[in-house]
Amino acid sequence: MSGGDTNETKQRRPVRLVAAIVSLALCLAASACGQDAGQLNSAPAGESDSAQPSDANVRSQSDESSNARQRDDATIASQIAQVVVAQAEAIFQSQLNEVTQLPAQGVEVPRTLSLCNDASRCLHPQTDDAVWTAPVLSIRFLGDDNNDGFVDQRSTNYSGSTDDLRGRIDDLETQNTWWSTEATRFRGYDNADARPSIGFEVTGELEFTTTPPRGEEAPGDDGVFFPDYRTILTDAGICDWVDNRGIREVWMYTHHHSDIVPATSKLSSEIGDISNSFRFDDMPRCSTPYTLYNFNFTRDVDVMLLNRALQLEAFFRFQDEAFYVSEFVGGEPPYSSPARCGSSTWAPNTVDQYVSWNEEMVTSDCASWEPGGGTQTNVSCSTWFRPAYGSSDCFPDGGVAFYTWWMQSLPGHASGVNMNDRPLPNWWEPMARLEQVQDNTSWLTPV
């Protein structure tokens, strides 16, 4: 593998942060910033200000003074921006020496340089209150095989510069960090104080400017390969990250196009490869278990949440498939009313897989689920859209609202859900610390 090992590559990240800080400075300094944004938002897409209705009576001599104020604002903003840029560049230059060159040419990006370190932008507000933490290592393949600063569209199906792609991945990571933590709050849709079982935070980042190396061939798909996870992770020193730096998950970003297909999720542990994807056991085995999610950087956070939900189901089916399917899911889809909680890809009220914005009303006991049956209530897409978006209006959101609601329905911290008068374990625990529970006879029912 060849990666971003040049000074030019290292310098592109400072430019990105400086640009963001400059934008913030301009917005703070210019009093007309909000007004301009409002004018732009009110104009139909693709139309300029000249296309807007005008009235000569509205124009007055105040235009000249307004323009003068805007010129003054721009001057002030420019001066502030210059100071901010100088300070940002100084910070970057002082910390740039901390960038580490790995054997595989991957650049370790200090997380202190990332906007994603700002807890108000990235982290769920209850991350620090979670029962367990899950530090994440981000590994990014930017697809710039030509080393010209642009992603190879033919290989990746992504059009844009590597800086554009970095920004897109930052945004995806921000959303995934927040929603993944939110999803671990037991029945958080009914309890604002519900404590997360797991708090996710990206604490390490490795960047490769190339496409990933090819590994195992995808079964039944000649000439299409999974990334070479064993080589990538070995070269990245994964066991140091996992065993010594506390990493619990790897979020890998690649394309899904041409001859590369990403695995949705993979698990490396002493008890084997409990993965939602093909179980090739093709990741390095470390002393501590870890999970890898391979995200397609051209997709959105809905698919990232789905990958997590599918990996959870792989855990549950490995442990006790009969109990999980009959008791929690409610049998095989599509479900008849009264329903239970459904699966990650079949909402209780839907007749189409992956379509969770169906407005049909059915009865389900998921909101009070317990083995043997809970209280039936009416559910529809509004049931999960309301807590996710604050509105009962349903729309094709890719499944974000439902995946969150479904995962929040899993027995979690202080669930109070019992079976035979004994409390159920926290179903999130295997994802947080598999090494502690891998020898247990059951992860789903009381031991």
265 touches 344 (CB < 8 A): no
For residue 69 the two structure tokens come to 């104020």
Question: Is the pLDDT score of 11 beyond 50?
Answer: no
A 10 A CB-CB count for 361 gives 13
| Percent of the chain surpassing pLDDT 70 | 73
Note the pLDDT tens digit of each residue in 380-408.
Answer: 999 999 999 999 999 999 999 999 999 99
Whether 45 maps to a domain, the answer reads no
Does one domain contain both 21 and 141? Answer: no
Question: Is the pLDDT score of 82 beyond 60?
Answer: no
What value does the mean pLDDT take over residues 107-118?
47
Asked which of 77-86, 154-163, 256-265 is least confident by mean pLDDT, the reply is: 77-86
Is the model more confident about 115 or about 154? 154
pLDDT, residue 69, reads: 46
| Percent of the chain surpassing pLDDT 90 | 64
Provide the whole-model pTM. 0.75
Does one domain contain both 270 and 129? Answer: yes
DSSP string covering 363-415: EE-GGG--TT----EEE-HHHHHHHHHS-------TTHHHHHHHHHTS--TT-
Is the model more confident about 336 or about 287? 287
Query: At residue 110, what is the residue type?
Result: P
Does one domain contain both 358 and 233? Answer: no
Is the dihedral angle over the CA atoms 394, 400, 404, 406 positive or is it negative?
positive
pLDDT, residue 109, reads: 59
Query: What pLDDT band is residue 115 in, cutting at 50, 70 and 90?
Result: very low
Does one domain contain both 113 and 254? Answer: yes
Does one domain contain both 277 and 353? Answer: no
368 touches 416 (CB < 8 A): no
pLDDT, residue 270, reads: 87
Does one domain contain both 170 and 267? Answer: yes
Does one domain contain both 237 and 276? Answer: yes
Query: What pLDDT band is residue 230 in, cutting at 50, 70 and 90?
Result: very high
Question: Is the pLDDT score of 33 beyond 50?
Answer: no
Does one domain contain both 166 and 294? Answer: yes
Note the pLDDT tens digit of each residue in 331-349.
Answer: 989 888 889 999 999 999 9
Question: Is the pLDDT score of 232 beyond 50?
Answer: yes
Q: Tell me, rounded to whole angstroms, the distance of Cα 374 from its chain centroid.
A: 32
Highest-confidence range of 28-42, 61-75, 326-340, by mean pLDDT? 326-340
For residue 146 the two structure tokens come to 């030509």
pLDDT, residue 58, reads: 32
Is the dihedral angle over the CA atoms 426, 428, 433, 436 positive or is it negative?
positive
Average pLDDT, the chain: 80
What domain count does the chain have?
3
309 touches 398 (CB < 8 A): no
Query: Cα(49)–Cα(61) distance, rounded to whole angstroms?
Result: 20
Does one domain contain both 139 and 257? Answer: yes
Does one domain contain both 69 and 116? Answer: no
Query: What pLDDT band is residue 42 in, cutting at 50, 70 and 90?
Result: very low
Query: Cα(218)–Cα(294) distance, rounded to whole angstroms?
Result: 15
pLDDT, residue 30, reads: 42
Of 87, 86, 113, 88, which Cα lies nearest the Cα of 99? 113
Whether 59 maps to a domain, the answer reads no
Query: Cα(377)–Cα(366) distance, rounded to whole angstroms?
Result: 8
Q: What is the 3-state secondary structure (H, E, C) of 116-177?
A: HHCCCCCCCCCHHHCCEEEEEEEEEECCCCCCCCECCHHHHCCCCEHHHHHHHHHHHHHHHH
Of 104, 262, 123, 264, which Cα lies nearest the Cα of 202? 123
Q: Tell me, rounded to whole angstroms, the distance of Cα 383 from its chain centroid.
A: 23
Does one domain contain both 249 and 361? Answer: no
pLDDT, residue 106, reads: 65
Q: Whole domain around residue 29: which residue ranges? A: 1-39+64-96
Note the pLDDT tens digit of each residue in 169-186.
Answer: 999 999 999 999 999 999
